[in-house]
Structure 1
Amino acid sequence: MSRFNYVAKGPHGNIQGTLEAASASAAASEIQAKGLVPLTIKQDGPVAVAAAASAPVKMPAFMQPKVTQMDVMLFAKQLYTLFKAGVPILRALAGLQETTQNPTMKVVLQDLRRALEGGVDLSTAMAQHPKCFDGFFVAMVKVGESSGRLEEIFLRLAQHMEFEMFMQQQVKSALRYPSFVIMAMTAAIGVINVMVIPAFSGVFKGLGAELPLPTKILMATSAFTIEHGWSIFIAAVAAFFVFRKWVKSPQGKPVWDRFLLRMPIVGPIVTKASLARFTRAFALSLRSGVPLERALIGVAQTADNAYLTQQIDSMRERIMRGESLAHSAASAGVFTPMVLQMIAIGEETGMVDELLDEVGELYSEDVQYLLKTLSQQIEPILIVFMGGLVLVLALGVFLPMWNMGGAAMKH
């Protein structure tokens, strides 16, 4: 028996511990039996020290290229093709290591080969690289190993990741035009405040007459911007980084993600995209033979929404206390009536995976439509805002001129 130090993901965050097992694979099985997802498993003792001493010197982490989602998707698709052709796993990994263009991915594949040659399971070896293979990916590979359907699992994982990438591209495409318009408007407001209004300000002050309210507002805004411009810029940058750090923190991310689900226009898209991701991943897990509790652990990690992840974890806890899946889902308060209805019917008929897959397809199509029309929904808001801005500028600049013209005609 050897002693292993491990880091595993649990319902409430990462957990560190030590256990004794015959091998790293046995240690991983023991950790998963506790309802945890192993992230790293390292042997404690002379063997580990010797391995560390003989390890090659690696480049600093910030200099290494990252393993992208595309790399992992291609890895899963290529492994499926090689397995289907009857290529042994070690030879398949060697071939992928030679052909991959990403040096970091090449190192990961080399580590996987060494782990397999040392008698470690593929899923356990993948768990040593959490930045490449998330908990859901590792859990699905573990199921494929235990059921003997590894080829099918990699096909489904490739399809799942392809869907995820497609959704991300759709979101970026839909937000490109509104983002460009907002940046252009912000730049225009800055130029007007700093350069245009000060040029008129001297003329208006020379009139010696009472200026209309829009003109006073413009002149005060311009003066404040010129006087405190750098302070405003530094404060805005600092606020951005503070907000970004808060959004990524364990306390702030659930609050922000919950706000996103309820935000006008964007909220329905985020909600349906999250539910499409949940239903497809959950259906994939159940169809592959993953037990219900373990399936919810893996699916919670793919939700990409911290608030939804919390509710999925609460579902799992209710199910472990003896509640039905439909009742626990209804208690979570984040699922639409369609999802709840499909889960209830699926429990009665034993077709939860098929019905959830249909819901995922439906929501995926709905999200694609909403994303295509997102710019059309935002355009009226931008037009109204731009119209109001132009109106204020026009009134502020031209009202004093009209007053000057009217006074000159009277004289």
Structure 2
Amino acid sequence: MGGRYYPRRSGEGSVWELSMPQFAYKARDIEGNLVKGAVGAPDEGELATLLKERGLYLVHFKEEKEKKEKKASLGSISFGKIKRRDLIEFTIHLATVLSAGIPILEGLQDLGDKTNNSRFRGIIRSVREDIHGGSNLSSALSRHPEVFPQAYVNMVKAGEASGNVDMILKELTGFLEWQEELSANVRKASVYPLMVLTAVGILLTILFAFAFPRIIGILQGMRVPLPLITRVAIGISTFFRDYWWLIFLAVAAGVVGLRLAGKTAKGRLWIDKLKLRLPVVGDLARKVALSRFAHHLGLLWRAGIDISQALTLVEGVVGNQVIAEAISRTREEVLAGESLSRSLAKRGQFSSLVIRMISIGEVSGEMDGSLSKVCQYYDQEVPATVKKIFSVMEPLIIVLLAFVVLGAALSMYLPLYTALGRLGK
């Protein structure tokens, strides 16, 4: 669930509530000036009391949650997609602003004016308005979960609690840069094979749906025994010609079925189990998931976020349902008193390196350093595995193409050679 955190009054100071309503309000100060803003509060009474403590008197209010969600949805259609690079630039700028001592409202105003992405510019301005209205940074960011993930918001919140928001933002910048690099490696490993296989599929379609039907009559009219490879090619070509619609429906049904399965818990679990079992590719999928686990857990650990909450957040970002379920069971056992390393070892999904390093961190009290070493290991292993995939797939693809071309050539030329031999006699 996309968490939203808003502050409210408490006898012990500021506490945090999940999914607290957000109110847009109009109020008057002691001099009668109109003040507009947005703030989180459990209900109207708490809202009025909160504003009164700030020297404001409530005139009008409106719950803003539904409106904002609708606005965000419309924005995603009307404007361009907000890329991770936009978020990285935002985080770098905000860290610089805070470390330089520039007021955050001025910094956000400047950042909003310089942002090229129209949708992101509107979100930055909305964040600025919320902060101007009394919300703190993490509360304002949490109202835009489509841009600022829950882990991002929780990191900022932890920085606010410790007074080191600028340092947290700098660490988030490095983290987001790692995510960008990881995504590039994953795309590189998946796009190239798909492009080559698509090209092979197009080649086979052209051969069997268009080329062979033109020469089938010629080959059959030669009245010579057709070799097996030619008969197979004719059979495939005939199938393409007569049942092309069935092939199209089968491919479409497979794509739609996978998409629908991916939207259910059982379907995602089945697909992710299959990914992990695939030769070569399964190894990459596991390393990518474990890299995400180590990076996210290390980031949240350094921010001082409770291990239970950290594991809950990590569970949602590893990108593999099998690993996510293992993390969920680990969290339950950790809450029951089990050590993190021992619980992870029971799952059978985590490498011995991850378990060993976490165990060392638990014993030495240097969990941060242990997780950093795991991150460094996978930062090297993921690109190395991508290169390994290419080194394996490239010769296989060349052999496949050679097999297709050679088979097509033989199926056409063998009957011609036989016919020419008979003419020579």
Query: Normalising TM by the smaller chain, what interval?
Result: 0.7 to 0.9
Offset of 1:104 from its aligned partner? 1.2
Distance in 1 separating the partners of 2:296 and 2:391:
31
Offset of 1:175 from its aligned partner? 4.1
- Are residue 155 (structure 1) and residue 170 (structure 2) matched? yes
Gap change, CA 1:54 and 1:134, over 3 Å in 2: closer
Q: How does 1:146-225 map to 2 (within 5 A)?
A: 146-225=161-240
Gaps of 5+ in 1: 1-6, 10-15, 32-37
SS of 1:48's partner is strand
Offset of 1:47 from its aligned partner? 2.2
Distance in 2 separating the partners of 1:54 and 1:337:
46
* Corresponding letter in the other structure for 2:181: F
Gaps of 5+ in 2: 24-42, 45-59
Structure 2 residue aligned with 1:48: 62
Is the contact between residue 97 and residue 107 of structure 2 (CA under 8 Å) also seen in structure 1? yes
* Corresponding letter in the other structure for 1:82: V
- Are residue 75 (structure 1) and residue 62 (structure 2) matched? no
Gap change, CA 1:52 and 1:404, over 3 Å in 2: closer
Q: Which has the higher contact order (CA 8 A, sep 6+)?
A: 1
SS of 1:29's partner is strand
Distance in 2 separating the partners of 1:349 and 1:211:
75
SS of 2:101's partner is coil
CA deviations over 1:228-283 (Å, ceiling 9, x no partner): 22342244234323322322433322222232222211122221122122112211
Gap change, CA 1:186 and 1:27, over 3 Å in 2: farther
Gap change, CA 1:235 and 1:91, over 3 Å in 2: same
Is the contact between residue 28 and residue 124 of structure 1 (CA under 8 Å) also seen in structure 2? no
- Are residue 97 (structure 1) and residue 77 (structure 2) matched? no
Structure 2 residue aligned with 1:291: 306
TM-score by length of 1: 0.85
Gap change, CA 1:22 and 1:160, over 3 Å in 2: same
TM-score by length of 2: 0.83
- Are residue 87 (structure 1) and residue 102 (structure 2) matched? yes
Structure 1 residue aligned with 2:391: 376
CA deviations over 1:168-193 (Å, ceiling 9, x no partner): 12233344443332222111111111
Distance in 1 separating the partners of 2:316 and 2:139:
17
* Corresponding letter in the other structure for 1:315: T
CA deviations over 1:348-381 (Å, ceiling 9, x no partner): 0001111111111111112112223432210122
Is the contact between residue 136 and residue 301 of structure 1 (CA under 8 Å) also seen in structure 2? no
Structure 2 residue aligned with 1:366: 381
- Are residue 392 (structure 1) and residue 407 (structure 2) matched? yes
Distance in 2 separating the partners of 1:84 and 1:53:
34
What is the percentage of aligned positions where both structures have the same residue?
29
Q: How does 1:3-402 map to 2 (within 5 A)?
A: 22=9, 29-31=16-18, 38=19, 41-43=21-23, 47-48=61-62, 61-402=76-417
* Corresponding letter in the other structure for 1:257: D
* Corresponding letter in the other structure for 2:327: I
Q: Aligned residue pairs: how many?
A: 387
* Corresponding letter in the other structure for 2:341: A
